[in-house]
Amino acid sequence: MGQAKSSNLGYPRIGEKREWKKLLEAHWSGKIDAAELESETKKLRLGYLKKQRDLQTELIPVGDFSLYDHVLDTAFTFGLVPQRFTGGANSAAHGGDCGCARGSHDEEPAASADGGVQAFAPDEKGVYGLDAYFAVARGTKAFAASPMTKWFDTNYHYIVPELQGLTPKLTFNRPLAFYLEAKEELGIDGKPVIVGPLTLLKLARGIEADRFDSLLDELIPLYAQVLKELSEAGAKWVQIDEPILVLETSDEDAARLRRIYEAFAAAVPELNILLQTYFESVSRYEEVVRLPVQAIGLDFVHDRGRNLAALERHGFPQDKILAAGVIDGRNIWRSDLQVKLDLLRRIEKAANAKELFVQPSSSLLHVPVTTRSEEALEAKIKNGLSFADEKLTEIAVLVKALNEGVDAAAAEIRESVDAVAALNASPERNDESVREALNKLDARRPKRLSAYAVRRDVQAKHRPLPLLPTTTIGSLPQTTEVRQARSKWKKGEWSEERYTEFLHAETERWIRIQEEIGIDVLVHGEFERNDMVEYFGEQLAGFATSAFAWVQSYGSRCVKPPILFGDVKLLSPMTVTESAYAQSLTDKPVKGMLTGPITIYNWSFVRDDLPRAEVQNQIALALRAEVSALEEAGIGMIQVDEPALREGLPLKREDWQAYLDDAVYAFRASTTSVRDETQIHTHMCYAEFGDIIQAISDLDADVISIEAARSHGDLVTAFEDGTYDKGIGLGVFDIHSPRLPDLSEIESIAKRALEVLDPAQFWINPDCGLKTRREEEVVPSLKTMVAAAAALREQF
Ligand code: GLN
Ligand code: ZN
């Protein structure tokens, strides 16, 4: 029997009760100074380390802790601070790719730090301070933040390094500082974690094409210096994260990879390097496992079986340790430890391994901290969950079983098998009516009664609209008053009647406002919704709501996704009251407003006992029933939002088609039950759509609205070839900016689109929902938009 060790790749930063978030925000709003932030977060950090030790993690990550983001930390380690913050002259567009109005994010106070040129210069040792760090992450009055984007296919966002004109230098050996801290304060001989050079450069922007290799050559010795100092301080293991290796890796990058790791091996032969990958199977298995490092970390959960297949096919070098990620680092479910033990044995056998590290499939950053405080959840659900702490316990049990024999861990294994079995056997996971409905689904894509061209004419006759009709995306300002009303109702301070009365009053007020402005297709405003996924999760069968299952989304912003644990079913109509009420107030059409199956899936913690497509289709059938109920209630236009369609794409292109086919299927299962005259809309936030236009068209929605203000030209080009023949509105003003759009600006944005799109198919709408904007901004913006539409109608 081989020797096994428990290892962790990273621990959540936010704290059991989001203490970390609160400290950061207290600092940003000036309530605590940098020294207090440092001392308080140090307590948290040491607490996390102690906890991991108590949970019997042998290889404890250090330096994974961050005050914002680990990619930003790595950039700062190497002095890669965008020039505009340090006196350089370049400037970048503001903001992140995650700019949608998705509201399940908790609040982050606005950046307020001042600071002109040179304000963030390093100290005499060349170390950039905390102000510079937060300035890059969040922006200042004078400078836009660095962009932010999704960390692979997770819902975590990292700060994109902007390397224009920069030369790396080792300003601060951050991993060393954290290594020493753990050792001195707690006697923990930790495993420093650092983002690898290939991943760092590949994720960066602003590298001139011919500069990539010279930058790499400048970085390699700096990394080697970090490793050398770690080794001299006594570190035995270092984890270098190269998740980029799960994406397609070119020959050029494979050569760079060898260059990097050969250089490290030569510079610090005595140090053990764990080359860590995650989120998918490694793309060039045979080459990667042959790199001159001491351990290779592979994800055996999200690899679609490919890492295991490669391992069984090619074996594993005998001079290395295999670090096996077998406990899901991205989902919240407890594992059947018998199944995991069998998997580990299979891995051990295929690798002919003398030594294994047993670890989560990725950093535990992507899961909440502990199930302990989830007191309100039913026992069978709570017992079926495993957050970070529980996952580390699972790993310890597996290690015990491997090292001491299965009898030594028999009780814990049995308990896990029973817990998973109990959840699987629960009535919520075995709803016959859901099964039957799924069985009835056709293998072919569900279809509307008639083709689009026919529907278009029927709809135009049934509900004539002007050329270039105007509408909005759904939500209207979520004022403090609106949020307070919801909270009073949730706490039981307000009766159902009082709350409904309040919602109706707000909807009526806004129906009148929209009518006065002269919008053609109205919305009820979504005042009843906290968040576009949670709202549905709270009402559908199969979902549970946690109390503290927060995960970091970006910076101090956290999300608490609903838990989709059982079969999904519509219990009673979810949106009909609000929509029907709004429609009863006006002769103009009011759009019904739903969140689509892909988005509900992607933004929830989803059961892992069923294939994705099956869960999506369950959601779809529930929505289909809701769509019918809306139609029945006289709602003639129904919008089914899918902002998460693009972001859900698998990491490997070879998996895209299957994903898109399933997505199209589920969307159509949700929306095709309606009559020809009922108009189906959909909405997507900003993304690169060029390569998925066909799938978007296949959704067969009558009208799509897409966020476009931030990249208008590109998006229009994507639709240039004319494949998209259905209704389309490319957002004509940016709802993320408090700046009011002016008429000529809206006109010219629309005209750019109309060079490519037929005026008969074009809609005029803002980029996204207006929930984050104030009434004083929304009203004039929409007035301008309507005026622009009127002016355009004269011209086309
Ligand atoms: N209907 C939603 C809203 O307006 C859409 C939000 C989104 O796509 N993120 O808020
Ligand atoms: Zn949007």
98 in a labelled binding site:
no
DSSP string, 647-702: TT--SSGGGHHHHHHHHHHHHHHHHTTS-TTSEEEEEE-S---GGGHHHHHHT--S
Q: Give the atom of ligand 1 at the shortest distance from the alpha carbon of 685.
A: 8
pLDDT at 774: 96
How far apart CA 19 and CA 11 sit, in angstroms, is 14
According to the annotation, is 683 in a ligand binding site? Answer: yes
Q: Which ligand 1 atom is the nearest neighbour of the CA of 639? A: 1
What's the rounded mean pLDDT across residues 728-747?
91
- What is the DSSP code string of 298-331? EESSSSTTHHHHHHHHH---TTSEEEEEEE-SS-
- ipTM of model: 0.99
The answer to whether 231 is annotated as binding is: no
Higher pLDDT, 92 or 348: 348
Q: Answer for the pair 250, 231: CB distance below 8 angstroms, yes or no.
A: no
Compute, in angstroms, the gap from residue 377 CA to the centroid of ligand 2: 32
- Taking a C-beta distance cutoff of 8 angstroms, is the pair 596, 701 a contact? no
Phi-psi region at 518: left, alpha or beta (left = phi > 0; alpha = psi -120 to 50): left
- pLDDT class for 113, splitting at 50, 70, 90? low
pLDDT at 102 (0 to 100): 43
- Report how far ligand 2's centroid is from the alpha carbon of 106 (Å): 18
Count of CA atoms in the C-beta half-sphere (13 A) of 389: 15
pLDDT digits (tens, 9 = 90+) for 419-433: 999 999 999 999 999
Closest CA to 242 of 227, 228, 257, 225: 257
Q: Is 206 helix (H, G, I), strand (E, B) or coil?
A: coil
709 alpha carbon, closest ligand: 2
Please say if 524 is a catalytic residue: no
Q: How far is the CA of 15 from the centre of ligand 1 (A)?
A: 30
Is 685 annotated as a binding-site member? yes
Among all bound ligands, the one having the nearest atom to the CA of 101 is: 1
Q: pLDDT-derived band of residue 97, with 50, 70 and 90 as boundaries?
A: very low
Q: Which of 319-333, 676-690, 721-735 is the most confident on average?
A: 319-333
Q: Is the pLDDT of residue 90 over 50?
A: no
| Ligand 2 geometric centre to CA of 100 (Å) | 5
- Are 368 and 388 contacting, i.e. CB atoms less than 8 angstroms apart? yes
Pocket perturbation via mutation, ligand 1, pick of 97, 683, 771 by most ligand atoms within 8 A of CB: 683
pLDDT at 95: 41
Nearest atom, ligand 1, residue 532 CA? 2
> Would the annotation count 475 as a binding residue?
yes
Segment among 1-5, 219-223, 338-342 with least mean pLDDT:
1-5
Q: Which ligand approaches the C-alpha of residue 105 most closely?
A: 1
Residue 473 assigned ligand-binding role: yes
> Which phi and psi (to 5°) does residue 415 adopt?
-60, -40
Rounded distance from Cα 153 to ligand 1 centre (Å): 21
Question: Distance (Å, rounded) from C-alpha 104 to C-alpha 532?
Answer: 8
Is 183 a residue whose pLDDT tops 90? yes
Contact 19, 369 (CB under 8 A): no
Q: Give the per-residue SS3 of 546-599.
A: CCCCCEEEECCEEECCCEEEEEEECCCCCCHHHHHHHHHCCCCCEEEEEECHHH
Q: 264 or 103: whose pLDDT is higher?
A: 264
Distance CA 75, CA 773 (A): 34
Q: Are strands 679-684 and 637-641 parallel, antiparallel or unpaired?
A: parallel
Residues touching ligand 1 (Cβ under 6 Å) are 100-102, 473-475, 526, 532, 593, 641, 643, 683, 685, 768-769, 771
How confident is residue 96, by pLDDT bands cut at 50, 70 and 90? Answer: very low
Q: Percent of the chain scored above 90 by pLDDT? A: 88
Average pLDDT over residues 222-236: 98
| Ligand at shortest distance from the CA of 686 | 2
Please say if the pLDDT value at position 98 is more than 50.
no
Which residue in 308, 354, 337, 522 sits closest to 421, CA to CA?
Answer: 337
Q: Are 715 and 757 in contact (CB under 8 A)?
A: no
> Which residues on neighbouring strands pair with residue 762, listed in sequence order?
728
Reported as a single tens digit per residue, the pLDDT across 358-411 is: 999 999 999 999 999 999 999 999 999 999 999 999 999 999 999 999 999 999
Q: Which of 473, 533, 553, 773 to mutate to test the pocket of ligand 1 (most atoms within 8 A of CB)?
A: 473
Q: For residue 198, what pLDDT is reported? A: 98
Q: Hey, whose CA ends up nearest to atom 3 of ligand 1?
A: 769
For ligand 2, the distance from its centroid to the CA atom of residue 570, given in whole angstroms, is: 25
Give, using CA atoms, the residue closest to atom 4 of ligand 1.
769
CA 32 to chain centre: 30
**Is the pLDDT reported for residue 587 higher than 70?**
yes
Per-residue model confidence as pLDDT tens digits over 754-785: 998 999 999 999 999 999 999 999 999 999 99
- The yes-or-no verdict on residue 101 having pLDDT over 90 is no
Atom of ligand 1 lying closest to residue 770 CA: 4
- pLDDT for 674 equals 98
Q: Which of 157, 504, 681, 736 is catalytic?
A: 736
Which letter does DSSP use for residue 477 in this model? -
Q: Helix/strand/coil (H, E, C) string of 80-139?
A: CCCHHHHCCCCCCCCCECCCCCCCCCCCCCCCCCCCCCCCCCCCCCCCCCHHHHHHHHHC
> For residue 344, how far is its CA from the centre of ligand 1 (angstroms)?
43
Report which ligand 1 atom has the smallest distance to the Cα of 473.
4
On whether 526 is known to bind a ligand per the annotation, the reply is: yes
* 176 — pLDDT class (breaks 50, 70, 90): very high
Average pLDDT, the chain: 94
